[in-house]
Amino acid sequence: MKNPPPRFIGWLLFALMWAGSVQAGYTINGDGTVTDNVTDLTWDRCAWGQSGADCLTGSASTHTWSQALGVAVTANSQNGGVGYKNHNDWRLPSRTELVSLVNYAASNPAIDATFPATPTSWFWSSTILEVVPAYAWLVASMMGSPSPTSSPTTTTFVSCVADSLLPLLTDSPPRYHLPPKQPPAPWGRSWPPPPPSPRRISPA
C-alpha cells in the first residue's frame, strides 16, 4: 500500500486543526465570564440577576433601557472598583455584538450552551433607533432576530459585555465595516473571524 502524498497529509492536518478551532468557539474563564474566540469579546456568562456556575442561582431581572444602561455602571463599581467578576469595563452591548452570539443551529434560545439558563426573551442593546433616538434596539434570544423597541420604558433582560481591543462590532457612529454576513456555518455561527484591522468609514 502506497503512503498518502505529503500534500494530502498537510491538508488533512489543516482540516483537523480548523475543525478543532471551530469547536473551541468560546473559552469559559474561571471568573464567571466567557471569551468569544471569534470576536475577542468577554461576556458575562449569566444574564444580569443570575449567578452560579450554571446561572441557576437567583433570577434574571428585567429593566427599562435607561436602567439597562445603568446596570454596567453598577457592575463596574462593585468590589471597591475592582468590578463585577474581576472586570470594571462592563457595558451594554451593541445590537451587532448581541447578534454575534446567535447560534442559528439552536433555538429557544438561539445561543450556544456555553451560556446556560439564558432567558428565552428579548435583551437590550445600547444601539439607538436612528429615526427615534429615544428608542433602542432589542435582540431576541429565541431566534436571534433584532427589532426596535416600541417604547424605551419596555422592561426586558440585560447581558453585559466587557470592552474589546477591536472596536469591530460597534454599530453606532463612527461605524466600521463588518465582514459580509455568510449563510449559517455548520457550527451555527453567523460570520467568520474578524480581520485584524477593521476599516473605519465616515459617520452616517
**CA–CA separation, 192 and 124 (whole Å):** 24
Do 165 and 108 touch, CB atoms closer than 8 A? no
The answer to whether position 194 is within a domain reads no
Supply the pLDDT for residue 175. Answer: 32
Supply the pLDDT for residue 163. Answer: 73
- Strand-pair partners of 26: 36
Residue matched to cell numbers 467568520: 192
Do 184 and 174 touch, CB atoms closer than 8 A? no
Closest CA to 111 of 122, 101, 97: 101
Supply the pLDDT for residue 4. Answer: 54
The answer to whether position 200 is within a domain reads no
Supply the pLDDT for residue 155. Answer: 95
**CA–CA separation, 72 and 111 (whole Å):** 22
The answer to whether position 45 is within a domain reads yes
**CA–CA separation, 54 and 36 (whole Å):** 18
Helix (H) or strand (E) holding 125: strand 122-129
Q: What is the residue range of 40's domain? A: 28-169
pLDDT, tens digit (0-9, with 9 covering 90-100), for 180-195? 333 334 334 444 433 4
Q: Is 138 helix (H, G, I), strand (E, B) or coil?
A: strand
Local structure of residue 29 (DSSP, 8 states)? -
pLDDT, tens digit (0-9, with 9 covering 90-100), for 15-47? 333 333 333 589 999 999 999 998 889 999 999
Do 188 and 182 touch, CB atoms closer than 8 A? no
Supply the pLDDT for residue 43. Answer: 96
pLDDT, tens digit (0-9, with 9 covering 90-100), for 77-131? 999 989 999 999 999 999 999 999 999 888 889 999 999 999 999 999 999 988 8
Rounded mean pLDDT, 63-87: 94
The answer to whether position 17 is within a domain reads no
Supply the pLDDT for residue 24. Answer: 53
Supply the pLDDT for residue 26. Answer: 94
Q: What's the count of helices (H) and strands (E) in the chain, helices before strands?
A: 3, 10
The answer to whether position 156 is within a domain reads yes
> What's the structural domain count of the chain?
1
Do 120 and 141 touch, CB atoms closer than 8 A? yes
Supply the pLDDT for residue 63. Answer: 96
pLDDT, tens digit (0-9, with 9 covering 90-100), for 122-177? 999 999 988 888 889 899 887 788 888 878 899 999 999 997 544 444 444 333 33
Domain at 127, CATH number: 3.10.100
CA torsion, points 62, 169, 167, 185, in degrees to nearest 10? 120
